[in-house]
Amino acid sequence: MQRKVHTAQPSRREFLYHSGMGLGALALTAMLHGEKARAGVLAPKQGHYRAKAKNCIFLLMEGGPSHIDTFDPKHKLIDLHMTEFVKERTKFEASMNTGRRYFVRSPFAFQRAGKLGIEINKKFRHFADCVDDVCFYRGLQATSVNHPTALYHLNTGNRFGGDPAMGSWVTYGLGTENQNLPGFVVLPDLAYPQGGAGNWSNGFLPAYFQGTPLRSQGAPVLDMNPPEYVDREQQRANLDFLGELNRRHMERRPAHDELAARIESYELAFRMQAEMPEAIDLDAEPEATRELYGLNSENADVVSLGRRCLLARRLVERGVRFVQVMASGWDSHDYIEKAHGSRMDAVDQPIAALLKDLKRSGLLEETLVVWAGEFGRSPDNGIRGVDKAWGRDHNAPAMAFWMAGGDAPRGKIVGATDETGRTAVETVHPIKNLHITLLRLLGLDDAKLTYFAQGRDKQLSQTGGELIRELVA
Amino acid sequence: MRNCLLPAALLPLTCLAAGAGEDLFREIVQPTLKQQCLGCHGEGNTFAELDLRTRDGALKGGLRGAAVVAGDPGSGTLIAALEHAGELKMPPGGDEKKLPADTVRAFREWVAAGAAYGPAASEAAWDYAEEDLWAFRPLQKTAPPEIADTEMKIRTPVDRFILEKLAEKNLPPGPRADKLTLLRRVTFDLTGLPPTPQEVREFLDDTDAGAYKKVVERLLASPRYGERWGRHWLDVTRYADTSGYSNDFERPTAWRYRDYVIRSFNADKPYDRFILEQIAGDEIFPDDPEAILATGFLRTGPWEHTGMAVAAVTRQLFLDDVTHHVGQTFLGLTLGCARCHDHKFDPIPTKDYYRMQAVFASTAFARRPLDFQPYEPTAGFAAGEKYYSDTIADLDRRMDLLHERGRVRLAAAKGEEAAAKAASGALQRYLDKEEGETLKLLRKQKTLHQGSAQRFNPIATAVSSGLVKAWNDIPSGANSYMQKGDYANAQTHVLVGGDLQAPSDPVSPGALEAVARYSALPAADIPQTVSGRRRALAEWVADPRNPLTARVMVNRIWQYHFGRGIAANPNNFGKMGKKPTHPQLLDWLAAFFVEQGWSVKAVHRVILLSEAYRRSAEHPTPAALQQTDPENLYLARFSPRRLEAEEIRDSMLAVAGELSDSTGGPGTYPQINSDAARQPRHAQGSLRPAYQPAPKRRDRNRRSIYSFQQRSLLDPMIEAFNGANPDLTCERRESSTVPTQAFALLNGEQSHDMALIMAQRVEAEADSPARRIARAFKLAYGRSPADDELALALDHYAKMCEHHAAHPARPRGEEPTIVAMITSELTGEKYQFAQPRLKVDYEHNPHPSEATPETRALADIALALFNSNEFVYVY
């Protein structure tokens, strides 16, 4: 398997004397000091278990994709279509779900794919080829039907926000392979999701573990480049001058390691500045690969997500531990045929390309790919507009989820929902157990991956839970 | 072999022989019972008349019959309930709360093996190690140790405690810091800003023995003091100007609470009064506007209610938040742990948690009318109000065009009458897709702007005891539930597992039983009436006999001075928090604090004037010290610190001469990274307006504490330097060094702008390159450059002059139009919108294209100074 880690660690001397960005011998000393201070914070670490997967690409479908219209079709809804949906009303009902409601059948056609003939939406033309590599899980349940709280729940384990994202926990547990790139990268869609950067926050973990959003336009990392009127020569001269000031200062304050660490952080920043453009240069990919991901598509959404999926692969290949790709727009309350249809058109090719590409290079063996939204959608709807406005509201007790790679089962369905898709009924587990399972698939034990904060050792699952054994092959 | 899935660490895989039942009980059953069951079935509560504390109780069972039939897991209610086999499911709360399968299996095995109870399970309730109870014990004011002061190492009683410990550890205290270092240290410490060259000269020239004391008094009297120490308090209380989550709406006049905090520190408001005002100002001092503003404290957490949320749940979210928040802020206890189960580490049973919560059950959100006081700055209001009314009028105009278009089509379809009364949402359906999405976006932006416009209204985001309709501050979606008068007769129940759907025993308002149990403070007597609950709690917290309150605050103060608390977890004085390194000093300070009328400034003085505080960061024998006390717990030297995010920004502005002296009032919009400002961000169902920095330099270059704190968009520079996350209480700023800090400070537009402004300043203030460079060093470091530094800087200057002469900067480019995109929920298609420009009627900062090569070269030097270690560390 070709894995481009050669860019990860140029030897320090090599870098300092040949990159032209170095601060000279001073920085070398400083880096050695600094290394001591930062010892091991982000260095690659052994997990708690042996696991095939070492990296994770988390495809977050923001808005709540309908399981019923994607990977968990409900033929019963054809019979029930437009009959009234009656459920117990309590004061624990969001106002969204009140009023008269009716069952709504899926407007989509389905196809059988893979060796088992798993039924998936016909719109997944490309993804149909990947079904035998995928494990669909239908027993998952969210808790909240409110976007920001449900997103926080899925991403951080805590509905109310403030806790570290899963990518932060994984980077905390496993470190990262490439010290010149962030260990946890987020590739947001056009707009930041509800709840914003809290979805990739390091929470109470130290800032080393924060998710770094890479921007698709301009500088990929904020302020990675100086203002346009600063040229390279000026930057280098200023850095050298800064280095001299810091050297004299450190001579007067020899006992303080943190000074060296800070000098080293400037070096790290500029190694990142040097390495990032290559890492994100999609033009370097062969035309066939660009075509595979849909970069030549007429559908701008396909191009946009295709770029991010390809970028995810390039980053994982270069030793980034955790990449989260956001694909928004799944909040289809009405007109689900158009709204969800266009989402499926947008994600099908890029996501299938990612799986195929990872598989052919062997990276799928060591990369866990996860596809999930923050909750599912209801089999019923309050009727707005006329017959053609079929849609679905938020639904926590059943949702869409699949994963592939590493030790995840292949070509399998785990769990089941009831006949209308309202609730999971088999192998039912809350989000926290999914978190425990995903960590396990990455070689980490949720109960041991803890950090003392707010008065106790905190963990991704919040208070522990159990492994979903069926999801570990 | 039987199917044993118990964790391998707990049990051998050979299964249950005799005695295994007791192992199971000790290792799994008992801890689980204690955490999950006894809160309701034992320890004060015996719901369904079931008491699981003893084997007899379990065998006898409750209203539903025997819980356990020894040897027969198929009978009895316990196993069926844990397995969710029947109607009764325990712990309550549905699948989310179901115990792990391993644990349930262990219960089954345990019953099968005879349901042995180990010894004395019921005694466990109050079985806490004395060493973990230190914070609950009464303050012990011991006399400062007698120490022979032969070397003038004792300035205040603080030194006696510190020296005693150092002697005990055989650590010789280091020398005193030099005057400049000390001045820089204490000036940053008390004001968050560097000393000016003038202040440096005065102090260095002042040979009077009391020179340092004069400086301390000057700084304590400076209005900048409240801005610095107010920021500390806002870290703990999670201040923001918006409410977070999806819409992240502005919290009207939240800034009045921020200013109240700053004023309180500046006035050295007695801390007990500060507590009373923040917890119950409206009840205790209803006619004091400050006390009303203070209750903004109870509203600082992130909170939102939308149509997607359940009102009962969002109300409970507030109640949990405020209970936990009060505990952490004033009592240094993590009460949140006791929400679902008796606190695992501290003597806080779940019942106590809900008794505390009951105090707030009658508390309603209130948007209270409250005139602006003469001392509140309202000067810029007219301009601000005009900005929002113009913006909203413009949005209205654009919406009207679309409404009209929709109305014509609706009239054609359904007649004039229907069209005349159609609301915006109805009209939207008759528009083209793109028009409809535009209308929706405009509506959203109008709502957000209308919210912001309220920052100028004479109201307080506060609370009331019982709902006052006229002060309604609850979003319409939540009204049906939250306005039904749950306040007047609010009855709080213990929520099993923290689950709102599992109410059990009713509880009456109260405070922590453990305090009465272990200290001299009697149990709080809190009435069940609508009003007066918070008053009683506040008085209990602020009672001098409360063992936690004074200790918690003096420990916070100590931490901000020395970088580490005497007890290193200021928000956690329980078992899991670090134990105090100097318990007697902590108690002495706490008692002193109370004796001095809860004066925060008195505590500052006794600390700042100590020799311990004045010690150098360098020690004569660093290697030995590193060996014995690597964390510098015993203060043989001073621990240097990196400046906090706000200090770095404010210092950069200050030495450039650009820092605005305007204080208070609505939050301002500083210059932030333009890419971050342009980044489109979702608000529920649509997009929020782009970030626009304040057009006037004076406005955008205010101290960072006056920056508008938007939860969904924090200043990336502040964030990079480990700024406080307003969604979480921050007991202590982190200072980890990450590469994004180098990017922000070396490449950020603000750094470059400030460097150029500083260059212009030193050009105006001195008349040769050498003097200008020397001036820049004085401003940034408080000292002149050494000869070799000056030579180095002059060399760099000459090189850069040449470079800039050969490479003139291109003039400032046109500002790009911000195109925001959103995915339509209806069609799944993307729509584009041109957002307003970032900089409207903008007073630009100077630009390199307008500067001479010499000025640009000086700016290069200034930029390096901003980035240097000497600038961002204090020693």
Question: Which two tokens mark A126?
Answer: 């490309």
- Beta-strand relationship, A101-103 and A380-382: antiparallel
Provide the pLDDT for residue B369.
97
A192 contacts in chain B (CB < 8 Å) = 679-682, 712
Instruction: Give the whole-angstrom CA distance, residue B851 versus residue B859.
Output: 10
Q: Which of B430, B454, B478 is the last residue of a domain?
A: B454
A270 contacts in chain B (CB < 8 Å) = 742
**CA A258 to chain CA mean position, Å:** 32
Instruction: Give the whole-angstrom CA distance, residue B232 versus residue B235.
Output: 5
Provide the pLDDT for residue A15.
33
Q: Are A443 and A51 in contact (CB under 8 A)?
A: yes
For B869, the closest of A96, A249, A394 (CB atoms) is A249
pLDDT tens for each residue of A193-249: 888 888 998 988 988 898 998 987 777 889 999 999 999 899 989 999 999 999 999
Asked if the Cβ–Cβ distance from A268 to B803 is below 8 Å, we say no
Question: Which two tokens mark B696?
Answer: 């006037």
Mean pLDDT value of segment B30-59? 80
How far is the CA of B756 from the CAs of B670, B779, B868, in angstroms? 17, 14, 17
Provide the pLDDT for residue A253.
87
A95 contacts in chain B (CB < 8 Å) = 307, 477, 480
How far is the CA of B850 from the CAs of B319, B768, B801, B804, B841, in angstroms? 56, 21, 15, 12, 19
pLDDT tens for each residue of B562-580: 999 999 988 888 888 889 9
Indicate the SS3 state at residue B681. strand
The DSSP secondary-structure symbol of B319 reads H
CA atoms within 13 A on the CB side of B708: 26
Count of structural domains, chain B? 3
The DSSP secondary-structure symbol of B339 reads G
Provide the pLDDT for residue A23.
40
Instruction: Give the whole-angstrom CA distance, residue B671 versus residue B674.
Output: 8
Instruction: Give the whole-angstrom CA distance, residue A150 versus residue A152.
Output: 5
Q: Are B861 and B773 in contact (CB under 8 A)?
A: yes
Question: Which two tokens mark B31?
Answer: 């801890």
In sequence order, the 6+-apart residues with CB closer than 8 A to the CB of B833 are: B438, B441, B687, B819, B820, B821, B822
User: Would you put residue B93 in left (φ > 0), alpha (ψ -120 to 50) or beta?
Assistant: left
A229 contacts in chain B (CB < 8 Å) = 809-810, 848-849
Q: Is residue B770 part of a domain?
A: yes
For B789, the closest of A193, A248, A335 (CB atoms) is A248
Write b or e for each residue in A153-167: b if 16 or more Cβ atoms lie within 10 A of its Cβ, otherwise e.
bbbbbbbbbbbbbbb
Instruction: Residue window 165-194, chain A: list those with CB within 8 Å of chain B.
Output: 190-194
How far is the CA of B302 from the CAs of B262, B710, B860, in angstroms? 21, 11, 42
Instruction: Give the whole-angstrom CA distance, residue A363 versus residue A55.
Output: 9
How far is the CA of B736 from the CAs of A212, A264, B715, in angstroms? 16, 13, 18
Q: Is residue B414 part of a domain?
A: yes
Provide the pLDDT for residue B94.
76
Largest CA distance in chain A: 82
Of B497 and A155, the one with more pLDDT? A155
Residue in A387, A461, A412, A460 with CA at minimum distance from that of residue A102: A387
Q: Are B278 and B295 in contact (CB under 8 A)?
A: yes
Q: Are B94 and B88 in contact (CB under 8 A)?
A: no
For B738, the closest of A148, A265, A342 (CB atoms) is A265
Distance (Å) from the alpha carbon of B379 to chain A's nearest alpha carbon: 34
How far is the CA of B468 from the CAs of B220, B569, B806, in angstroms? 41, 39, 70
In sequence order, the 6+-apart residues with CB closer than 8 A to the CB of B559 are: B565, B568, B570, B731, B732
Q: Are A454 and B336 in contact (CB under 8 A)?
A: yes
pLDDT tens for each residue of A233-248: 999 899 999 999 999 9
- Beta-strand relationship, A412-414 and A134-137: parallel
Residue in B528, B704, B532, B633 with CA at minimum distance from that of residue B162: B633
Domain containing residue B402: 385-454
Least confident stretch, A178-192, B174-188, B226-240, B851-865? A178-192
Provide the pLDDT for residue A91.
62
Instruction: Give the whole-angstrom CA distance, residue B782 versus residue B461.
Output: 42
Q: Does A14 touch chain B (CB under 8 A)?
A: no
For B827, the closest of A198, A272, A335 (CB atoms) is A335
Residue of A nearest to B866 (CA): A242
Question: Which two tokens mark A317?
Answer: 């290949």
How far is the CA of A195 from the CAs of A155, B112, B156, B667, B713, in angstroms? 11, 49, 49, 21, 10
Instruction: Give the whole-angstrom CA distance, residue B365 versus residue B461.
Output: 8
Helices (H), B489-643: 513-518, 533-541, 549-562, 583-595, 600-608, 611-614, 622-628
Q: Does A13 touch chain B (CB under 8 A)?
A: no
Q: Is residue B24 part of a domain?
A: yes
pLDDT tens for each residue of B359-381: 999 999 999 999 999 999 998 89
Q: Is residue B536 part of a domain?
A: no
Q: Is residue B528 part of a domain?
A: no
Is pLDDT of B194 > 90?
yes
Of A60 and B500, the one with more pLDDT? A60
Question: Which two tokens mark A132?
Answer: 């035998």
Distance (Å) from the alpha carbon of B309 to chain A's nearest alpha carbon: 5
For B682, the closest of A193, A266, A432 (CB atoms) is A193
pLDDT tens for each residue of A302-329: 999 999 999 999 999 999 999 999 998 8
Indicate the SS3 state at residue B611. helix
Distance (Å) from the alpha carbon of B178 to chain A's nearest alpha carbon: 13
Residue A20's pLDDT band, with cuts at 50, 70 and 90, is very low
Instruction: Give the whole-angstrom CA distance, residue B762 versus residue B782.
Output: 14
Mean pLDDT value of segment B411-430? 89
Q: Which of B102, B127, B152 is the last residue of a domain?
A: B127
Q: Which of B127, B156, B173 is the last residue of a domain?
A: B127
How far is the CA of B247 from the CAs of A144, A148, B684, B820, in angstroms? 17, 9, 5, 17
A340 contacts in chain B (CB < 8 Å) = 828
Percent of residues, chain B, with pLDDT higher than 90:
61
Q: Does B707 touch chain A (CB under 8 A)?
A: no
Provide the pLDDT for residue A32.
45
Mean pLDDT of chain A: 87
Q: Does A230 touch chain B (CB under 8 A)?
A: yes
Q: Does A456 touch chain B (CB under 8 A)?
A: yes
Asked if the Cβ–Cβ distance from B792 to A249 is below 8 Å, we say no
Residue B778's pLDDT band, with cuts at 50, 70 and 90, is very high
In sequence order, the 6+-apart residues with CB closer than 8 A to the CB of A245 are: B789, B792, B864, B865, B868, B869, B870
Question: Which two tokens mark B403?
Answer: 């409404």
Residue B556's pLDDT band, with cuts at 50, 70 and 90, is very high
Q: Is residue B606 part of a domain?
A: no
Using the structure block, give the residue that is written with the tokens 């599912």.
A376
What interface predicted TM-score (ipTM) does this complex get? 0.85
Instruction: Give the whole-angstrom CA distance, residue A383 versus residue A373.
Output: 24
Residue A34's pLDDT band, with cuts at 50, 70 and 90, is very low
Residue A95's pLDDT band, with cuts at 50, 70 and 90, is low
Is pLDDT of B804 > 60?
yes
Mutate to test the interface with A, among B247, B626, B711, B746 (most CBs of A within 10 A): B746
Distance (Å) from the alpha carbon of A360 to chain B's nearest alpha carbon: 32
Helical axes B853-867 vs B645-656, angle rounded to 10°: 150
Instruction: Give the whole-angstrom CA distance, residue B572 versus residue B562.
Output: 18
Question: Which two tokens mark B801?
Answer: 């002059």
Least confident stretch, A229-243, B13-27, B129-143, B716-730? B13-27
Question: Which two tokens mark A348?
Answer: 């099908």
The domains of chain A, with CATH numbers, are 19-48+234-279 (no CATH), 51-214+286-471 (3.40.720)
B803 contacts in chain A (CB < 8 Å) = 233-234, 237
Mean pLDDT value of segment B675-691? 83
Q: Does B476 touch chain A (CB under 8 A)?
A: no
Provide the pLDDT for residue B34.
76
Asked if the Cβ–Cβ distance from A230 to B317 is below 8 Å, we say no
Asked if the Cβ–Cβ distance from B747 to A227 is below 8 Å, we say yes
Q: Is residue B564 part of a domain?
A: no
Asked if the Cβ–Cβ distance from A234 to B748 is below 8 Å, we say no
pLDDT tens for each residue of B262-308: 999 999 999 999 999 999 999 999 999 999 999 999 999 999 888 77
Mean pLDDT value of segment B217-244? 97
Q: Does B479 touch chain A (CB under 8 A)?
A: no
Provide the pLDDT for residue B122.
32
Provide long-range contacts, Cβ within 8 A and 24+ apart, for A225-228. A225/A273, A225/B747, A226/B746, A226/B747, A226/B752, A227/B747, A227/B749, A227/B752, A228/B810, A228/B813
Asked if the Cβ–Cβ distance from B100 to A465 is below 8 Å, we say yes
Is pLDDT of A79 > 70?
yes
Q: Does B344 touch chain A (CB under 8 A)?
A: yes
Asked if the Cβ–Cβ distance from A38 to B574 is below 8 Å, we say no
For A455, the closest of B576, B673, B675 (CB atoms) is B576
Q: Compute and round to an integer the Cα radius of gyration of chain B.
A: 31
Q: Is residue B632 part of a domain?
A: no
